[in-house]
């Protein structure tokens, strides 16, 4: 059960190993989902709402709660990021000054009162999802952006992986990040493995569609009618650019080797950066679910949804777009993905 505070003036502060940061005032009644009993308490400066403190050192969060995720707001930008409590109090690295964008899930950011004031960082409210994912009504989590990849080397180190290369023969991990080119040239099987490497999973078809349509259940997420160029739905044909003068009505022109050429998604006017079309979103704060790249979903027979930069209507409109013509091991320049995860309880 969640722990809540009903104090009229709830004050909380974050502690680093070096020093206690200046606290920021928040209103009472913001719930922090912890599991266990429901209690009422006023949290003082130098502690974290609802979290037991170590008897030997009051700045340390007890280990069993250190992986709870909470949202924090940084002074000066008013948006939020989700971090574990361990990161929030400096027990582990990862807390950074920045934001994941001003558009967030109403369920995630409802406790933010115009941004924190007077402190470097303050806990705003708990979130059931990792910082790079949006909460879909508290039921499951979905990546805010189409997936890019990092390669996991045999010694455990990671390095960037080209979004234009096939992942055949590589161990890769999915990353959800704004402002990068998402990964094409990937199959459903490979996408599923990349999600698992990040402790996530491929979205189920219904989950993907719900996240795409937003809390208001709109055909294109942002609305029921298509608004051309709001999303990356107007790209040029990379095949025509790469093979000028060739008869592309001939089926032989669309063979496996050609459709996996790294040059295709590097043609100007094709693939866009994640979040580049900043109005291609909805109330959940997910981006580019319509257009840019097709997105694989969890279907043993093979299915991808949402369309890509040349087509968002041929096999259904917007969030209802689905292609079932390719098996789960198929990939080409247009196929990408994003991950889902179960919401924390």
Q: From CA 294, how far away is CA 146, in angstroms rounded?
A: 10
Mean pLDDT of 214-239: 97
Q: Tell me, yes or no, whether 81 lies in a domain.
A: yes
Pick 126 or 174 by higher pLDDT. Answer: 174
pLDDT digits (tens, 9 = 90+) for 117-137: 334 444 444 679 999 999 999
33-47 confidence digits (pLDDT tens): 223 332 222 222 233
Confidence of residue 72 (pLDDT cuts 50, 70, 90): low
Q: Decide if pLDDT at 284 tops 90.
A: yes
Which are the contacts of 261, defined by CB distance < 8 A and separation ≥ 6?
A: 242, 333
Please tell me whether residues 29 and 150 are part of one structural domain.
no
Residue 274 CA: distances (Å) to CA of 23, 144, 232, 247: 35, 9, 10, 32
Helix, strand or coil, per DSSP, at residue 251:
helix
Average pLDDT of every residue of the chain: 74
Residue 144 clears pLDDT 70, i.e. is over it? yes
Say if 134 falls within a structural domain: no
Asked if 343 and 203 sit in the same domain, the reply is yes
Is residue 97 over pLDDT 70? no
In a domain, residue 217? The reply is yes
User: What is the predicted pLDDT for the residue at 261?
Assistant: 97
Q: Final residue of a domain: which of 127, 154, 174?
A: 127
In a domain, 133, yes or no: no
| Pairwise CA distance, residues 112 & 124, whole Å | 6
132 within domain boundaries: no
- Residue, of 87 and 26, whose pLDDT is higher: 87
Considering the domain architecture, whether residues 233 and 305 belong to the same structural domain is answered as yes
Question: Do residues 222 and 345 both lie within one domain?
Answer: yes
Show the domain range for 64: 1-127
How much is the pLDDT for 84?
A: 58
Residue 251 has pLDDT above 50, yes or no: yes
Length of the chain equals: 345
Find the mean pLDDT for residues 200-208: 98
E strand or H helix that includes residue 84: strand 80-84
Question: Among residues 77, 102, 127, which one ends one of the domains?
Answer: 127
**Measuring CA to CA, how many Å separate 251 from each of 236, 241, 248, 260?**
19, 17, 7, 15
Res. 59: pLDDT tops 50: no
Any idea which of 28-37, 76-85, 234-243 has the lowest mean pLDDT?
28-37
Q: Are residues 115 and 185 in the same domain?
A: no
When pLDDT is cut at 50, 70 and 90, the band that residue 88 belongs to is low
**How far is Cα 332 from Cα 271, in angstroms, rounded to an integer?**
13
Residues 71 and 174 in one domain: no
Q: Is residue 64 part of a domain?
A: yes
Residues 310-341: tens digit of each pLDDT: 999 999 999 999 999 999 999 999 999 999 99
- Greater confidence, 255 or 68? 255
pLDDT given at position 253? 87
pLDDT category, 245, cuts 50, 70, 90?
Answer: confident
Q: What total of structural domains would you count in the chain? A: 2
Same domain? For 108 and 164 the reply is: no
* 9 and 34 co-located in one domain: yes
- In this prediction, residue 44 carries a pLDDT of 25
The answer on 73 and 36 residing in a single domain is yes
Q: What CATH number should be reported for the domain holding residue 324?
A: 3.90.1580.10
- pLDDT value of position 153: 97
- Paired tokens of 139: 């039921």
157 in the same domain as 115: no
Of 84, 100, 127, which marks where a domain is finished? 127
185 and 332 both lie in a single domain:
yes
Query: Do residues 70 and 19 share a domain?
Result: yes
Query: Is 223 a residue whose pLDDT tops 60?
Result: yes
Q: Is the pLDDT of residue 180 over 80?
A: yes
The pTM score is 0.68
**Exposed (0-12), middle (13-18) or buried (19+): which is 80, by Cβ within 10 Å?**
buried
């Amino acid at each position: 059960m969640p722990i809540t505070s009903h104090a009229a003036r709830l004050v909380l502060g974050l502690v680093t190993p070096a020093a206690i940061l200046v606290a920021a005032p928040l209103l009472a009644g913001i719930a922090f989902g912890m599991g266990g009993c429901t209690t009422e308490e006023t949290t003082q400066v130098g502690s974290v709402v609802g979290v037991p403190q170590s008897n030997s050192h009051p700045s340390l969060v007890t280990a069993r709660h250190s992986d709870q995720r909470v949202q924090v707001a940084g002074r000066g930008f008013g948006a939020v990021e989700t971090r574990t409590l361990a990161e929030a109090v400096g027990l582990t690295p990862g807390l950074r000054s920045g934001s994941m964008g001003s558009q967030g899930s109403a369920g995630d950011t409802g406790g933010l009162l115009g941004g924190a004031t007077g402190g470097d960082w303050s806990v705003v409210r708990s979130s059931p999802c990792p910082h790079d994912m949006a909460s879909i009504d508290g039921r499951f989590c979905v990546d805010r952006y189409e997936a890019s990849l990092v390669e996991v080397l045999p010694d455990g180190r990671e390095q960037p992986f080209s979004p234009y290369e096939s992942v055949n023969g590589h161990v890769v991990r999915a990353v959800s990040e704004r402002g990068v080119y998402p990964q094409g040239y990937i199959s459903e099987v490979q996408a599923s493995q990349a999600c698992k490497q990040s402790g996530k999973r491929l979205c189920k078809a219904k989950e993907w569609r719900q996240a795409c349509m937003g809390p208001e259940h709109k055909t294109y997420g942002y609305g029921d009618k298509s608004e051309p160029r709001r999303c990356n739905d107007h790209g040029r044909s990379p095949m025509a650019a790469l093979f000028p003068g060739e008869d592309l009505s001939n089926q032989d022109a669309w063979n496996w080797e050609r459709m996996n050429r790294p040059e295709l998604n590097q043609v100007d006017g094709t693939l866009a950066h994640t979040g580049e079309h900043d109005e291609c979103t909805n109330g959940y704060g997910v981006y580019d679910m319509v257009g840019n790249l097709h997105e694989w979903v969890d279907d043993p027979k093979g299915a991808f949804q949402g369309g890509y930069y040349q087509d968002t209507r041929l096999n259904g409109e917007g969030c209802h777009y689905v292609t079932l013509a390719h098996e789960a091991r198929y990939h080409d320049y247009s196929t990408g993905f994003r991950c889902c995860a179960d919401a924390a309880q």
